[in-house]
Structure formats: C-alpha cells, structure tokens
Amino acid sequence: MADLRMQFGIQWDLIKTPLIVPLLQLAVYICLAMTLMLFIERLYMGVVIILIKLFWKKPEQRYKWQPIDEDTESGNSSFPMVLIQIPMFNEKEVQFMFLNPTSFSCSKKLKRLNLFQVYKISIGAACNLSWPADRLVIQVLDDSTDVNIKDLIEKECRRWANKGVKIWYQIRESRGGYKAGALKEGLTHDYVKNCKYVTIFDADFRPEPDFLRRAIPFLEFNPKIALVQARWRFVNSDECLLTRMQEMSLDYHFTVEQEVGSATHAFFGFNGTGGVWRIAAINEAGGWKDRTTVEDMDLAVRAGLKGWKFLYLGDIQVNSELPSTFKAFRFQQHRWSCGPANLFRKMVLEIIRNKKVTFWKKVYVIYSFFFVRKIIAHMVTFFFFCIVLPVTILVPEVKVPTWGAIYIPCIITTLNSVGTPRSIHLLFYWILFENVMSLHRTKATFIGLLDAKRSNEWVVTEKLGDSVKNKKSNLKQIKPDPISKPFKFNLSNRIHLTELGFAVFLFFIGCYDFMYGNHRYFVYIFLQVVTFLIVGFGYVGTVVPS
C-alpha cells in the first residue's frame, strides 16, 4: 500500500507541474476576469439605480400621461380597444399545496391545505378590470389536454359572457409553438382587428382593477412606446425558503435590472406576462416566434431593433405565484437560462448589423443584457465557486487573490440583495442555494449556446398542486381530511444524483483543506456540502402528496 501511494505521488508530481498548474492557473484568471465583468456590471447598475431614485423624474413626468376619461359627447370612444390574452394549460379547478414540516425549506411549522380555483381567479381578475366593457375584449387561450378542465374553463367563460363581458374561449387543434403559438393565433381572429393594444396575463396573474387605466395612457399619448411592463408581486413568497430565495432574485431583476434598462436605453426583456403591448409594434417586429423557449424576450429584442421604446412601471404591480416545488423551479430555471443563451446565438449578428439603433444600445444589449447577465453570471458562479476554487486547495501552487475569492463576490452579493431588504438575514443561505442552482443554469446555458437537443424543451411551470395533475382520480373526490394521508416516497423525484455527487466531491476537498490546507476555505465548503445534500435528497420547497 505504501509503495502504491508513493508511485501515485510520483505520477501526480510528474503531471502537476507541467500540466495541472498552468491549466488551473489559466482557469483562475478566466474566472477572475468574469468576476470583474460581473462586478463592474453590478456596480454600474447600482450607481444608475441610485441616480434614478434621487434625480430621475417619475415616468408620468418623463412621458406624456393623462387619465383617459369618458367623453360627454362620444361616450367611451375615447378609450382605445384593448385585448386581454390569458394563455392556459391544464389549470386545475381545485389546486392544493401540502407542506412537509420536516423539510429544511418550509417556513411553516404545521401542515396546511390551500384550496382555490386558479382559472376562476385569473378570468375574474381580467373581467373586473375598470375599463369600459364595450372597449375590452378578453381572450382565454386554452391549450389544455384534459377534457374536464377545458369544459370547466369554457363554462366559466360563458358565465362571464352572460354578464355582458366580451370574452372568447379559444382552443387549437394542436399545441404547436406552445405559448407563442397560442398568442400568435389569438391575434388572427376577426374580433381582434379593432384592438390597438394587447395585455398578457398568465393564468396565475391577478391584476388590480385600475391596471389598464394606469398603463394604457403611456402608450396612448407616446406613440414610440411599444411595451409597458408592470412589476410582479408574489402572493406565496413566504410559503417556504425556496420561494423566499426566488423572491430575492426576482426582486433584484425588477427593482434594478428592469428599471435601469428602462431609464437608460428604453429597453429591457419582456417578462412574458403583466405587460401591455402595442399590437402595431408586435406586427412590425414580425409577430410571435417559437424558435426559442423565451418567446417574450425574442419579441422584445426584435421590437427594440426596430426602434421601439419600452417602459417599466414599478409602481404598477401584478400579483402572481412562484413555483414552490423544486422540480417545477428547476424546469423553469432551465428554460430561463437556456432560452436567452439560444436567442443570443441566433440574434447576435442581427443586432450587430442593425442600423436603426445606436452603437451604445447595441453594446448594452449584446454585452450587458445578454453576455454578462445571461451567460457570465451563471458560469462564473458555478465554475469558480464550485470547481476551480475548491480544486486550488489540492494544488497550492496555484494562487487565488483574496479580492477575487472573497471581497469582490461579497460586494456583488450585497448589491444583489438591495431588491429585498426584508430578506437580508437570508443572504448567506441565498448564496449557497444560488451556487447549487448555478449547476443547472450553466448546463442549460451551454445547451442553449450549442443549440443542443434540449434547447427547445418546453415544460409548463407547475404551481402548487399542478404536480398532481396526472392523477387518474377526479380532484372533486378528494376526501375531507387529505392532510392525514401518508406521503408516497418517489425516489426519482426526491433523489438528485448530480447534486449528491458534487456534495461528495466538495466534502473530500473540505476534509483535505481541514487536515492539510492553510486556506480555511473548509468552513464555506462544508456549508456548501450541506446545501448540496439538502437539494440532493429533495428537501427543498413544498412536498405534494401522491
């Protein structure tokens, strides 16, 4: 055994100096360069958002805005025709959430049951918008495959139609193009031709009644604006630690990224819902396309290249729901990471060649919007903190400067936390969890950049009880006390081998640093091991009973 160890040591020394050390040192330099890029981007946006809050005028002062009121002579004709599109797919009549109180991520101590009717709430919120009924058309685009659900949604549409609401229930023969296909076909109907604007709400989004009265005037009195985007608010952000982590990431996106893009370049990525589009801008940009899984961002980039302006309104907020199961969240993150990378691959040359936008707007879109935020941000988190930095512990000849390993990342993390001050005490947990998720995001980013097989994979994000949608029994037959039913352990859904593999790898590195190293990185590494184990064994988010 001693001879074997000695032989292995000799072989390791032979390849370490000429091969391992230079390659690892190069990886460190690349990671440091990416870290600096991300740091400069975050610092830039932090400075701009401070200037916006202190000196920028409010949107109502920067753009023409006045309330649209009924005219005494022409009546409601002063209100433009608005189309509301609500895309749906197998929205359950009764949805429920079952929290596992032993889960690391659950913030509630008791199991509880939430019952509500998603499709009724979303349709009802659209029908209750304070806009003249004769100037509003509501379109429910139902791609459901469940016949019973389709029947329930159609009955709900008829119920509102009997009250005088112009609501149309639309189905397609196939789900071609998924959401983009449904939205595109919805604009082709004859009753839409008189509509000037289209508002999109996903099935779990609930706007306030005054949403249109606050948003439409920006479009009506500013003909160069193509899109008005509202902010998302999350009704279930306190359900568990998983939803709190999502809230921290998305609040930064809305509070900083969207605000900065709107104020400086009048451009940002459409979020796919909670926004109002000028139909003329959609048509000029080429309409909805299903070439990527981020059809919303695709349309926004194409419209931006046509010279249209976008406006983000953080004061207008729309209630929505976060995915509370890890499976649903992971699918969502794959789509949100793979889609932008794939769109970047397909549009970068088109952006460079475009002659309708300024040079600096091209730089912003290519470098800041796509390259740093959608590609670099994922890769540096995964490669630097989950691979390169731990491996340098085994190769002490490779030096990582303290500013790159600790100081700069801490500043970046602090800047990311400004969107959700109430969760500042969860910042360290958020860092560890984001490192785990960077594994999936980096994988998805490479799939998108290489246009690989899963680049166009579309999985609808399940919310709450959607994960039980394949049950054969009817949801109406649920017994009065389902809380007492035992969990059915599903190994494939609860065990994640990739995360467990990284936990083993980092545990070995941490033990080596504890015994032989002098970096004292083992404190961070062991905490990261715990996080990988928690995710690997499926103790993240809510647990839905079988």
Positions marked catalytic: 143, 296
Q: How far, CA to CA in Å, does 442 sit from each of 148, 200, 242, 413?
A: 39, 30, 19, 19
* Residue 223, number of CB atoms within 10 A of its CB: 11
Radius of gyration of the chain from its Cα atoms, rounded to whole angstroms = 25
Q: Rounded distance, CA 95 to CA 323, Å? A: 13
Which tokens belong to 503? Answer: 């936990």
How far lies 153's CA from each of 117, 143, 159, 248, 495, in Å?
11, 11, 10, 34, 36
Residue with tokens 């949604």: 153
> What separation, in Å, do the N-terminal and C-terminal C-alpha atoms of the chain show?
51
Which residues does 451 contact at the CB level (< 8 Å), separation at least 6? 342, 345
| C-beta of residue 140 within 8 angstroms of C-beta of residue 88 | yes
Nearest to 233 by CA among 215, 217, 212, 255: 255
Q: What are phi and psi of 188, to 5 degrees?
A: -90, -10
CA 29 to chain centre: 30
Hey, what's the torsion of the CAs at 47, 51, 52, 53, to 10 degrees?
A: 100
How far, in Å, CA of 451 to CA of 338, rounded?
A: 9
CB distance 215 to 231 below 8 Å: no
Cα–Cα distance for residue pair 240/430, rounded to 1 Å:
13
Nearest alpha carbon to residue 465 among 205, 96, 91? 96
